[in-house]
Amino acid sequence: MKAAVIYRYGGPEEFIIEEIPVPVIRPYEVLIRVKAASVNPIDWKERMGKHRMFLIARFPLVSGYDVAGIIEETGSSTSHFKQGDRVMARCDRRFGKAYAEFAATSESSVAKIPQDMDFIQAAAIPMAAVTALQALRDKARIQKGHKLLIIGAAGGVGHFAIQLGKIYGAEITAVSSSRHSEMIKELAPGNIIDYTTTNVLALPEKYDVIFDAAGIYSYLSCRKLLKKKGVYINTLPRPKMLIHKLISFVSPGKARTLLMKSKGSDLYEILRYMAEGRIKVYIDSVFPLDRIAEAHRKAEQYHSGGKIVIEI
């Protein structure tokens, strides 16, 4: 099968498109014929070796976590899917391995997609939408009337967080740049702050929840914006956030780190909201697999509005 492979840590230019063997699935896994994948910050950070201290690579390496496609094969212990099913998933193998024509993942990480949903849209959902869901629902325990500050609101995770925050009844302040003003206005968060003209850390308001979806600010810099029992959430690597969590014991508010878990049940929750017209997926751009280096280069700039998708 054709795949985007790297042989060492480095920049987007490290990607090589070449033929490699199709994955052999385990009894509890399914094999997906990949139609589309998407780019998440974790993908390019792992490619650069930023997570090498706690996630050691074995080269050559195929990365990428989000996938949408068609079930090609099912493991002997699976029971919820059959060949030909249209699905999406956040692949749970080491480094994901979705940037390829076939990808394997646990059955529990997969959800069927509606017949009228295209694969580009489906591939944009898993990691970003479920990260936002688990952050607000599980870590923040967001409630109606909570004041929610979302940093990186125009990104993949951020634009889902706005919509989920509205579903939960939060009072939302979205931090983005004027580059994505039309998109943010369409999402209608309530309050919009342009970080290029306003110092976010000097805001006079205090918040019940601060969700830094882009990993821009630390807990230490944000804690004065938190209410006494407020919650700060980031998706930073765990070692750094452990320090912040220790500091939060003697400071206003609590620091929470999120290690997103692949759950098909959470994907179905997102799909239900979409069917109700309460969540919309925004696609920034689509690249073919042989231009994956361009896609990663664009993602690294943090200037995308919505998701960057790889069509395979």
Domains of the chain, by residue range, sit at: 2-125+281-311, 128-257
User: What is the reported pLDDT for 236?
Assistant: 66
Residues in Cβ contact with 149 at an 8 Å cutoff, skipping those fewer than 6 apart: 173, 175, 203, 205, 207, 209, 210, 211, 225
- Report the C-alpha gap between 50 and 42 in whole angstroms: 9
User: What is the reported pLDDT for 216?
Assistant: 86
Instruction: Choose the weakest-confidence range: 4-8, 170-174, 217-221.
Output: 217-221
218: confidence class by pLDDT, cuts 50, 70, 90 = confident
User: What is the reported pLDDT for 56?
Assistant: 82
CATH architecture type of domain 2-125+281-311: Alpha-Beta Complex (3.90)
Per-residue pLDDT of 143-171, as tens digits, reads 999 999 999 999 999 999 999 999 999 99
The beta strands (E) that lie in 12-55 are given as: 16-19, 29-39
Is the pLDDT assigned to residue 18 strictly greater than 60? yes
Please state the rounded mean pLDDT for residues 77-81: 97
2-125+281-311 against 128-257: fold identical: no
Which CATH number does 128-257 carry? 3.40.50.720
Tokens of 254: 């609590």
* CA nearest to 18, candidates 60, 78, 68: 60
